[in-house]
Chains A and B, each alone.
Chain A
Amino acid sequence: MESMRVDPVDQAVISQALVAAAREMGVKLVRSAYSPVVREANDCAAALLDRHGNVIAQAELIPMQLGPIGTTFRPCAEVVPPEELVEGDFYINNDPYQGGQHLQDVFLFSPIFHEGVLVGFGATVAHHLDLGGGAPGLNPEASDVHQEGIIFPPSRYNLARDWNGGPLERLVRANIRVPEETIGDFNAQFAANGMGAKRVEELCRRFGAETVMAAMDNLLDYSERRMRQSVREAPDGVYWGEDALDDDGVGDTPLPVRARVEIRGEDVFVDFEGTAGQVKTNINCPYASTIAAALSCVKSVLTSPDIPFNEGSKRPVHVSAPHGSLLNPKAPAPVRARMLSAYRAFNAVMKALASAVPEKVIAAGFDTTEVACLSQLGPDGYRIYLEILGGGYGASAGGDGCDAVDSPLSNCSNVPIEAMDMEYPFFRLEEYSLREGSGGGGRHRGGMGFCRKYRVLADDVEFATYSDRFRIAPEGLFGGEPGETARTYVERAGEVVELASKQSFKLKRDDLLVLLTGGGAGYGPADERGETDRARDSEDGIVMQAAE
């Protein structure tokens, strides 16, 4: 598949320009978006695809959304072949059972033409704050995917005809609760796609479309080469890892996630045989998300961070999961909280790799997407606050786990407290602090989780959440101690009401909602911790968790 030869320096220049264009798309998407999930939390991704739908370059925003953009593209191309597209057309897809992730992540693909020839696609995905469904922002009680919001099956529309007041936009607007923000975010996606198209067209004018397309092919091969090079350095063998979710949100039975990881030459085979079956609640993980989780783990552990992530870097990694399992569910199972299962898939692969490359892995961390959603229906419509919370990272061979940071598959920023104060009159944050002692002890300690205290300032405020690691603590590596589990409770009139990890709850004025996110586990035995580190922990009030 050796394609047209491109001068090596031209190749470097074009590659760099493509990566830069994808990054610019991402920056502009975030900066022109409306909903806090995208604009503050960066829960979105942007990419350039070649004319076949292979991801060439991506903005590095959220690892979870980096892997599978190509997987989401292909079902669209099956509905309407790319060669039938005309200027202004776009594909849309959010269907978890046709290559999508969860409904909130809506993928838009805009074709890029140069002198009438299709050269590639600009693609963006954003997590939309509300897409209808059974409750504002988040419906933890959904028993099928239809209660989670509106489904856009893989389809082709036209911007001029169907959007900007056209039938598709009107349909969407009528089915969502906060149209200004959601439509604004769609527009930000279209704008970012347009920016990507403009940059690719500039490159085509400068180097010729043929050269640019050949350089795209080469960039895929380049990433594949570097990925294979890294895999080759890891020892061959079959490795096993296992972790578990607390429960499905209804019962209290742990749900195991098992990974078999085989490194053979320059290929990695990940199989999730033995993982729990799909459940009735929203923690099912669509196949595209499972692939992304496994791929992110393999890439983070085995390769250098500067390999451009694209379809080529996926080629050496082969992922499979039994159909009907938690990691490859059948329609119409609900999937909103898929990140929880995706994280356990990440952990299981990490634990397997710990046997292969102990110096390169980290201990288990909180590794959970904890979603906190507060909403209120006021006289002017809905107000929805939604934030993604992480916790402590697991420790590594080189150092302590990172404190109070978003978990590895995601990368959301917090909403500034002063922004919350301006935007949401129905609650006030009274505390945001490190959770002392929540990091597991070890030669290197796990990262700390954090504490959030929300004072509720009005009646009839809905709280909805999903989280995990309330019961099963993250395990330490090589003698390290487990991290502290997470906890959510409400203080109401002097009483403490404990909440489950996955539920909704109606709050009243003066309630204090307290979220404690989990810590990461330690690496190596705690008695090997250095004197300087101990002294510093004690001076800074970072009390270690006692050994069990």
Chain B
Amino acid sequence: MRVGVEVGGTFTDLVAIDGETVTVAKVASTPARPDEGALAALEAATILLGGVEDLVHGSTVATNAILERKGAPTAFVTTAGFRDILALQRHSRRSIYDLAYAKPEPVVRRRDCHEIEERMGPDGAVVAALDIAAAEARLRAILDGGDYRAVAVCLLNAYANPAHEMQLAELLAKIDPGLSVTCSHDVTREFREYERASTTTLAAYVQPVIDSYLSRFEASLGERAFAGRFSVMQSNGGRLPAAAMGRNAITSLFSGPAAGVIGAVRQAGLSGYRDLITLDMGGTSTDVCLVADGQPAISGETEVDGLPIRTPVLDIVTVGAGGGSIIWVDDGGMLRAGPRSAGADPGPACYGKGGTQATVTDAHLTRGTIRAEARLGGHMTLDAAAAEASLGPLAERFERGREEIAADAIRVADANIVRAIQLVSTERGRDPRDYALVPFGGAGPLHAAAVAAELDIATVVVPPNAGVLSAYGLLASDYVTYETRTRRIMVDGDAADQVRAVFQELGQAADDRFAALGVTGDVDYSHTLEMRYVGQAFEVPVPLTAADLDALDEASLLAHFDTAHHRVFEFGGSGGLARAEIVSFRLGSAVSPGTLPALREAAQGGTATEVEIFDAGARTTAALWLRAALPRGEWLDGPLLVEDVTSTILVPAGWRARVDECDNLVMQKGT
């Protein structure tokens, strides 16, 4: 049996797959001790851990440690002259008219930032040597001066030559073997000191928290006779054996949204859909990600609480549009939805917990696309009258009926989601019409058809159990590592050989890493160069297939770069002036954990009933189906409302739907 357990902020989801049998559970999370929620989910699903050969876990432990500033007391050590780089940041502001602007607050205070005499050059040559004896004395003084459990070491230009960082790590291990030490070259080997120092510091800060969390969880599993593989999900969409988290826990940040994307990729892939835009809409926000040929887009950077992290992650864009998004009118008279959310408490007006402001969920209830009887993940019934009343003032203001204003508000929320999708598609040179939309999360399947229509997307694929898709993504994920290096290479006659040599070196590093972790199997490599015209500061990712790499020469390298550059900038380019250069290398390595299980849904008897909804500007009758009861393989014309325990699917008039042989519900425009 294979099990995925995903601990989210509100709910802990579980998917267990044993052959054809799929078990799903959803329990309340226990934020103070997230592992207890995970164990409760295992119990709720009556899973005997002795029979589980593969357990994959995702949690918000790392994210929460940072957001709540509950990481380990950490010292930051850097090159002399630069102790303030975490505070100085990039000198710019994110909000240009905010006079009371405050920078994102680093997790390490100024008193805990320290300097060591040394300097590397950008070519890796030593500019100022590291005096070992002096460094040891200095480190001893630093450690005596604070009650540190972790040390982050980030030296200037260490991406080019990590020798001094390694020497400091050895010294620290000698002085205090119990200390958790994180060096920048182990976390990211790319230039730009602030971003690398920030990444290193965040990694050091969460490391002891993750270590103790995972060891406690593993001990609990051991007590319950678990003897299978235990893996942890990463933000890059892959898993690693839990032991790997002992070195670089920062990769476990934001694993939940990444797991959702992987779940969508695998499940839609079973039906043959490989070019996707995923749409994960929950209570407060919507995450979207573009997937080309089964590969989710990767970004080299992300941030948490405004603090940058340089490590490959799934390129997920988040907007503040969810079921709880508040509908309001700004002081210029424009109708808005979000980004403020009513959250879970008081929640939408229809929750009856004292909320009076209308939310997107209230709008759905009012126009009939969520039924008061449907139990939204939780187990409460909804107050339709309260929902309608909350829309009253808005309806008056715009002289619209309540159902009309509800539909308007939903369109505004949809527009926010459309913007997010344009960010990951058109703005990156991808045409959304070439993709299928895969909605999940509690609210995704309700909005998908309208969003698809706005973008001229012809096909929507709704996976079964769309509300627990990320837990499925966990157990469907590969083992994945990324190796990155900044190494500047001018594109000339020798460049192709150098590229192959660097990838060879990175491949060896990845193989060694897998071997050390006991991961075996065929490795699937993905090669990406970060390139730019000489003089530019931002790089364009240039993906190369294994065949591209074998055949690479100066001309084809330039052609690959021009294609990638043109895709993003269209009109840009050097005008034949500038030379091109490679700045960084990224090698992704993936090993499949075995055959891919499917997320099925057991068929169930039943027929349609009728329900009134407000669709396309008029009240109309829709067929209401229980998802498990939908006839397999048969096209049904909208309007349809399809419910399962975790979400509601809306198939509007002018669309049709069919459950395929993989239990995916496929919607298409036109009847």
Cβ of B292 within 8 Å of any chain A Cβ, yes or no, is no
Q: A36 and B571: CB pair below 8 A?
A: no
Closest residue of chain A to B92 (Cβ to Cβ) is A413
Asked if A30 meets B538 with Cβ closer than 8 Å, knowing A12-B412, A411-B92, A453-B81, the reply is yes
Q: B332 and A226: CB pair below 8 A?
A: yes
User: Cα distance A62–B91 when bound, in Å?
Assistant: 13
Chain A residues within 8 Å of B625, by CB: none
A-B contact pairs, 27 of them (CB 8 A): A9-B335, A12-B335, A16-B419, A28-B568, A32-B538, A33-B536, A42-B92, A164-B575, A183-B575, A187-B573, A191-B569, A191-B572, A194-B571, A195-B571, A222-B333, A225-B331, A305-B98, A360-B99, A389-B91, A412-B92, A414-B90, A416-B192, A421-B121, A421-B122, A422-B488, A428-B127, A539-B111
Q: A540 and B538: CB pair below 8 A?
A: no
Q: B571 and A191: CB pair below 8 A?
A: yes
Encode A404-417 as 1/0 by CB contact (under 8 A) with B: 11101001111011
Cβ of A115 within 8 Å of any chain B Cβ, yes or no, is no
- Can you name 13 extra interface pairs (CB under 8 A) apart from A13-B415, A31-B536? A32-B538, A39-B538, A63-B96, A184-B578, A187-B573, A191-B570, A191-B571, A195-B570, A300-B99, A396-B99, A422-B488, A429-B81, A432-B84
Asked if A540 meets B192 with Cβ closer than 8 Å, knowing A190-B571, A399-B102, A421-B157, the reply is no
Chain A residues within 8 Å of B98, by CB: 300, 305
List residues 281-317 of chain A with CB under 8 A from any CB of chain B.
Answer: 296, 299-301, 303-307
User: Cα distance A198–B568 when bound, in Å?
Assistant: 13
User: Cα distance A221–B332 when bound, in Å?
Assistant: 9
Q: B193 and A417: CB pair below 8 A?
A: yes
Chain A residues within 8 Å of B571, by CB: 190-191, 194-195
Cβ of B100 within 8 Å of any chain A Cβ, yes or no, is yes
- Which of B191, B193, B416, B537 is packed against the most chain A CB atoms within 10 Å? B537
User: Cα distance A399–B98 when bound, in Å?
Assistant: 12
* Interface residue from B101, B110, B570 paired with A393 (Cβ < 8 Å): B101
Number of residues from B at the complex interface, CB < 8 A: 66
Q: B92 and A223: CB pair below 8 A?
A: no
Q: A405 and B333: CB pair below 8 A?
A: no
* Interface residue from A9, A17, A432 paired with B411 (Cβ < 8 Å): A9
Cβ of B318 within 8 Å of any chain A Cβ, yes or no, is no
Q: A432 and B82: CB pair below 8 A?
A: yes
Encode B92-129 as 1/0 by CB contact (under 8 A) with A: 11011111111100000111000000000110000100
Q: A15 and B334: CB pair below 8 A?
A: yes
Closest residue of chain A to B486 (Cβ to Cβ) is A418
User: Cα distance A11–B571 when bound, in Å?
Assistant: 29
List residues 395-447 of chain A with CB under 8 A from any CB of chain B.
Answer: 396, 398-399, 402-406, 408, 411-414, 416-419, 421-422, 428-434
Asked if A8 meets B92 with Cβ closer than 8 Å, knowing A20-B422, A63-B97, the reply is no
Chain B residues within 8 Å of A417, by CB: 82, 85, 156, 193
Q: B572 and A28: CB pair below 8 A?
A: yes
Number of residues from A at the complex interface, CB < 8 A: 91
Query: What is the CB-to-nearest-CB distance from A426 to chain B, in angstroms, rounded to a whole number?
Result: 14
Q: B81 and A432: CB pair below 8 A?
A: yes
Cβ of B344 within 8 Å of any chain A Cβ, yes or no, is no
Chain A residues within 8 Å of B303, by CB: none
Give how many A-B residue pairs fall within 8 Å (CB-CB): 214
User: Cα distance A34–B533 when bound, in Å?
Assistant: 8
- Which of A226, A411, A416 is packed against the most chain B CB atoms within 10 Å? A416
Cβ of B535 within 8 Å of any chain A Cβ, yes or no, is yes
Cβ of B88 within 8 Å of any chain A Cβ, yes or no, is yes
Cβ of B574 within 8 Å of any chain A Cβ, yes or no, is yes
Q: B87 and A434: CB pair below 8 A?
A: yes
Closest residue of chain A to B91 (Cβ to Cβ) is A414
- Which of A223, A361, A422, A430 is packed against the most chain B CB atoms within 10 Å? A422
Cβ of A144 within 8 Å of any chain B Cβ, yes or no, is no
Encode A27-55 as 1/0 by CB contact (under 8 A) with B: 11011111110011010000000000000
Q: A402 and B88: CB pair below 8 A?
A: no
List residues 545-592 of chain B with CB under 8 A from any CB of chain A.
Answer: 568-575, 577-578
Cβ of B83 within 8 Å of any chain A Cβ, yes or no, is yes
Q: A34 and B536: CB pair below 8 A?
A: yes
User: Cα distance A230–B194 when bound, in Å?
Assistant: 38
Cβ of B660 within 8 Å of any chain A Cβ, yes or no, is no
User: Cα distance A34–B192 when bound, in Å?
Assistant: 17
Asked if A432 meets B574 with Cβ closer than 8 Å, knowing A402-B103, A416-B192, the reply is no
Cβ of B383 within 8 Å of any chain A Cβ, yes or no, is no
Closest residue of chain B to A397 (Cβ to Cβ) is B100
Chain A residues within 8 Å of B572, by CB: 28, 32, 187-188, 191
Encode A181-222 as 1/0 by CB contact (under 8 A) with B: 101100110110011001000000000000000000000001
User: Cα distance A17–B334 when bound, in Å?
Assistant: 14
Cβ of B408 within 8 Å of any chain A Cβ, yes or no, is yes
* Interface residue from A61, A296, A402 paired with B101 (Cβ < 8 Å): A402
Cβ of A180 within 8 Å of any chain B Cβ, yes or no, is yes
